[in-house]
């Protein structure tokens, strides 16, 4: 089977995005300190947003010359999404996620301008086909991911958030130019609530440009060494030039 290994000019150590899912900004800063230079790119989601100090933490990371993915999955009236994304631009994040319909995505892209890349969430990696049936979808996960991704790219999104399982079909159908950010990465056998998971090498060979890893690093006895181990596996795939 052909590999869809990314050829985009992304520094190998930026291809790992760490999901900074902890209960408070203080705990986040403590973990950031432990991780040091083993992580360059951070994803900040809803848990930290609800904890307070979210945008101060974004600024803290940016001031450290780290990159930030704002994973708030905007879903609201299009004008509200547009205004929210406009406010976000000044915080100098790299990516922001939107989990909405076409008009919401259009509003987000318009609000982002040239300074922020919008990623469309396709199907959460915690859902499988039985979940989709319960939600009323009469299609496979792959069909839904492809449909949502195609519309998002036509609208002008920089890329999508997609399981590594569907990344290959996205590359086969839509090409290599757009970004694929793949969550649900499990370096070893999966035992948690993520249903559509892949390992590091499989995700990249299927077409991911970035992988998002959270619990396997956060919950490790030594998060720094856990992140470094993943970085070594990435550098074997993308040797620095």
Range with the poorest average pLDDT among 47-51, 92-96, 143-147, 231-235 = 143-147
Q: Write out 162-230 in H/E/C secondary structure.
A: CCHHHHHHHHHHHCCCCEEEECCECCCCCCCCCCCCECHHHHHHCCCCEEEECHHHHCCCCHHHHHHHH
Say whether pLDDT at 45 is over 70.
yes
- 26 phi/psi in degrees, rounded to 5: -65, -45
Say whether pLDDT at 7 is over 50.
yes
DSSP reduced 3-state for 233: helix
Domain regions of the chain by residue span: 12-235
User: In the annotation, is 43 catalytic?
Assistant: no
- Average pLDDT on 172-177 reads 93
Q: With CA atoms as reference, report the closest residue to 58 among 88, 84, 37.
A: 88
**Please, are residues 16 and 233 in contact by the beta-carbon 8 Å criterion?**
no
The pTM of the full predicted model, rounded to 2 decimals, is 0.89
Give the list of residues 6+ apart from residue 55 with CB closer than 8 angstroms, or none: 91
Q: Which residues of 16-47 are buried (b: 16+ CB within 10 A; e: fewer)?
A: bbbbbbbeebeebbebbeebeebbbbbbbbee
- Average pLDDT on 19-30 reads 96
Choosing from 73, 110, 117, 150, which is the catalytic residue? 73
| Per-residue pLDDT tens digits for 113-153 | 988 999 998 765 555 556 556 656 556 666 777 888 899 99
Under the banding of pLDDT at 50, 70 and 90, the label for residue 204 is very high
DSSP reduced 3-state for 99: coil
The pLDDT value recorded for residue 148 is: 83
CATH number of 12-235: 3.20.20.70
Under the banding of pLDDT at 50, 70 and 90, the label for residue 187 is low
Say whether pLDDT at 211 is over 60.
yes
Give the list of residues 6+ apart from residue 14 with CB closer than 8 angstroms, or none: 40, 41, 67, 210
The pLDDT value recorded for residue 103 is: 95
Residue 240's CB: how many other CB atoms inside 10 A? 7
Q: With CA atoms as reference, report the closest residue to 206 among 142, 163, 143.
A: 163
The pLDDT value recorded for residue 122 is: 78
- Average pLDDT on 173-180 reads 94
* Mean of the per-residue pLDDT values of the chain: 88
Listed in order, strand segments (DSSP E) in the chain are 16-19, 41-44, 67-74, 95-98, 117-121, 159-161, 179-182, 210-213
| Per-residue pLDDT tens digits for 75-107 | 999 999 999 999 999 999 999 999 888 999 999
The pLDDT value recorded for residue 193 is: 44
In this structure, what is the dihedral angle of CA atoms 102, 68, 43, 208, given to the nearest 10 degrees? 70
Q: Which helix or strand (DSSP H or E) is residue 58 part of?
A: helix 54-63
Say whether pLDDT at 190 is over 50.
no
What is the torsional sign of CA 173, 127, 70, 201? negative
Say whether pLDDT at 58 is over 50.
yes
């Amino acid at each position: 089977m052909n590999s869809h290994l990314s050829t985009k000019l992304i520094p190998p150590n930026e291809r790992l995005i760490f999901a900074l899912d902890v209960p408070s900004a203080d705990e986040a800063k403590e973990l950031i300190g432990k991780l040091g230079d083993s992580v360059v790119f951070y994803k900040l989601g809803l848990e930290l947003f609800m904890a307070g100090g979210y945008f101060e933490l974004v600024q803290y990371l940016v001031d450290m010359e780290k990159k930030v993915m704002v994973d708030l999955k905007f879903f609201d009236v299009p004008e509200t999404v547009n205004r929210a994304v406009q406010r976000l631009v000044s915080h100098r994040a790299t990516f922001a996620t939107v989990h909405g319909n076409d008009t919401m995505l259009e509003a987000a892209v318009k609000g982002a301008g040239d300074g922020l890349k919008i990623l469309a969430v396709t199907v959460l990696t915690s859902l499988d086909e039985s979940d989709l049936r319960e939600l009323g979808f009469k299609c496979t996960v792959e069909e839904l991911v492809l449909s949502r991704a195609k519309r998002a790219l036509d609208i002008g999104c920089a890329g999508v958030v997609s399981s590594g399982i569907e990344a290959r079909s996205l590359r086969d159908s839509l090409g290599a130019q757009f970004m694929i950010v793949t969550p649900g990465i499990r370096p070893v056998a999966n035992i948690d609530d993520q249903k559509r998971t892949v390992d590091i090498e499989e995700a990249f060979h299927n077409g991911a440009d970035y992988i998002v890893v959270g619990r396997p690093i956060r919950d490790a006895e030594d998060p720094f060494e856990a992140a470094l181990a993943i970085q070594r596996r990435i550098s074997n795939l993308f040797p620095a030039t």
